[in-house]
Structure 1
Amino acid sequence: MTLVGPVMTSPLLYPLLAGLCSLDGVLPMIPSEAAVLASGVFAHSGTPSVVLVVLATALGVFVGDHLAYGLSRSVLGPRLINRSRHVSRAVAAAGRQLDRRTGLLIVMSRFLPGGRVTMNLACGTARLPLARFSPASAVAAVAWAAYTAGLGFVGGAAFVENPLLGLGVGLGLSFAFGGLIELVRRRISNRKPHPGHPAETLPARAG
């Protein structure tokens, strides 16, 4: 925390947050969430500004979303996606759901582990028009930025004497919330009838 302190009071923090969140759109191993949470923890003391933290983060997320979207529509996109069977399956599964509630899916994916990159790649692969992708991406970026910085801010308020503990609590709550959304999503998916289920085959046979 001694090393992080000077960064949090520097004007360079805001472009740093924007850059990290942009790169995180194509390189998920970058710890942008931890950086935003830490900024929120320190923002409780008045420096940095929590409003500027949210704006810089949202801008970075929005740009990162479009980097992944553009990459998936490029010549290199399919090659990179198909290099990993897990990624290709996840992108294909997300793409099949884009015809229904596109905006809601894009927003919800920001709160799922790995969901942001997968959904953005799926939108690009499916050739979703920017007129539909960009507004949903903007809403998702602002929502995630406010949520993540807010968790850090609350953690900083609750653990004034120990900012590191506030950061840890913020990370824990973020993971728990993402896991809860994923659990709800899986339960909803499991309730849907599968191909070959009697509920689907009966009308065809009756006809």
Structure 2
Amino acid sequence: MSAAGAGAGLDAAWVESLGWWFHPLTALLVALDAPVPPVPSELLVIGSGALAQVGTVGLFPSLLATWLGCWAGDAGLYALFRYRLTGLLDRASWGQRIHRGILKLLDKAGPAPGYASLFVLRFVSGGRTASMAAAGIAGIPWRPFLALSGSGSAVWSVYMVGLGWFTGGATGLPFWASALVGMALGTLAGLVIAGVIAVRRRSKEG
């Protein structure tokens, strides 16, 4: 058996051992990634694309789980700040750390983002957290928020799962290795987007 075939076999065995929890776990981690950006949800999201490429999991369930998790996480973080419920976080030491982390990201993000940022900033490291919290603080109405968050989540899901699909097909590596390659490519793309946003912001300020 080739190395690629052995890797695919291990991937299949791992997912089968996890059972039907694979997609719900992915959705949960993606949702938690909104208030806690260090949560490694991208590993499972991009990995699900690599697994779908070899037929270990379904492509549509992978996209659906990622989209629903992303949209739910966006809405939860937005509501937390819109209705000033952050005091709930401050009741526990871990919640206080999460709250401080979100505030630091808000400070780095600069002025309150506009509607377009709800769509774009999710592709930048920490941008999703900052934009959703800022939207809640600014009191952006629910209807445009849900529309932009939902569409942005859908595009992000296709992008991230697609990274796994294409890196898995191109490299033939196990899903976790393909996910790491995809994460590296996604990080580079995020840096480019962050650079473009920074240049545009400086030009407006100038």
TM-score normalised by structure 1 residue count: 0.81
| Correspondences of 1:90-129 after superposition (within 5 Å) | 90=108, 93-95=110-112, 97-98=113-114, 102=115, 104-129=116-141
Match of 2:27 in 1: 18
In structure 2, what residue type is equivalent to 1:68? Answer: L
Number of matched pairs:
188
Q: Which of these residues, 51, 54, 72, is aligned with residue 63 of structure 1?
A: 72
- Following superposition, the deviation at residue 90 of structure 1 comes to 3.6
| Correspondences of 1:105-184 after superposition (within 5 Å) | 105-184=117-196
Native 8 Å contact 1:82 1:88 kept in 2: no
Native 8 Å contact 2:48 2:175 kept in 1: no
Q: Are residues 1:87 and 2:87 paired?
A: no
Q: 1:126 to 1:71 in 2, by over 3 A?
A: same
For each residue in 1:15-73, what CA deviation from the matched residue of structure 2 results, as whole angstroms up to 9, or x when unmatched? 11111111111121211111101111111111211111011100000000011001112
> What RMSD, in angstroms, separates the aligned Cα atoms of the two structures?
2.4
Name the one with the larger helix percent.
Answer: 2
Distance 2:100 2:73 in 1: 21
Q: Are residues 1:8 and 2:15 paired?
A: yes
Q: Looking at both structures, which has the greater relative contact order when contacts are Cα pairs under 8 Å and sequence separation is at least 6?
A: 2
Q: 1:161 to 1:189 in 2, by over 3 A?
A: closer
For each residue in 1:118-172, what CA deviation from the matched residue of structure 2 results, as whole angstroms up to 9, or x when unmatched? 0000000001100110000000111111100000010110122554442222111
Native 8 Å contact 2:11 2:174 kept in 1: no
Q: Which of these residues, 44, 47, 52, is aligned with residue 53 of structure 2?
A: 44
